[in-house]
């Protein structure tokens, strides 16, 4: 009898799956086409490699997130100031959440002034 092995996990972190699903949902809902996204992301990957980033793929979803934010801003689908406010709110929530508890935004956090 062969020992049972753990199934391969396609995402190392939950947020990797979430950003992947978000990108797919945005494309599926018509905000952009998948080829438009793929071209933008390919350029972001090439730029990261040219800048001397890791070659082991460890920064793949970091690049994905930064590329998606830039793509949404360039496409006028998102506002840079709003994204900055949200990033700061999530960072604050992460830093102030007790270990083991879910990280959540409270009330109007990240909604700007």
Q: What is the pLDDT of residue 112?
A: 52
Contacts with 75 (C-beta within 8 Å, 6 or more apart), sequence order: 31, 32
Other residues' Cβ atoms within 10 Å of the Cβ of residue 46: 10
Counting other chains too, the contacts that 86-89 makes at CB distance below 8 Å and 24 or more residues apart are 86/110
Give the tens place of pLDDT for each residue, 27-77: 999 999 999 999 999 999 999 999 998 888 889 999 999 999 999 999 998
DSSP string, 26-65: HHHTTSS-HHHHHHHHHHHHHHHHHTT--SSSTTHHHHHH
Spatial contact of 28 and 5, defined as CB atoms under 8 Å apart:
no
Domain ranges in the chain? Answer: 27-96
Give the tens place of pLDDT for each residue, 71-106: 999 999 899 999 999 989 989 999 999 999 998 987
């Amino acid at each position: 009898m062969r020992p049972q092995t753990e199934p391969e996990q396609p995402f190392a972190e939950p947020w990797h799956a979430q950003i992947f699903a978000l990108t797919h949902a945005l494309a599926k809902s018509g905000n952009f086409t998948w080829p438009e996204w793929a071209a933008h992301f390919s350029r972001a990957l090439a730029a990261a490699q040219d800048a001397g980033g890791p070659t082991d793929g460890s920064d793949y979803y970091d690049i994905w997130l930064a590329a998606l934010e830039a793509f949404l801003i360039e496409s006028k689908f998102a506002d840079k100031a709003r994204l900055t406010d949200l990033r700061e709110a999530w960072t604050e929530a992460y830093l102030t959440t007790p270990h083991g508890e879910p990280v959540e935004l409270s009330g109007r956090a990240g909604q700007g002034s």
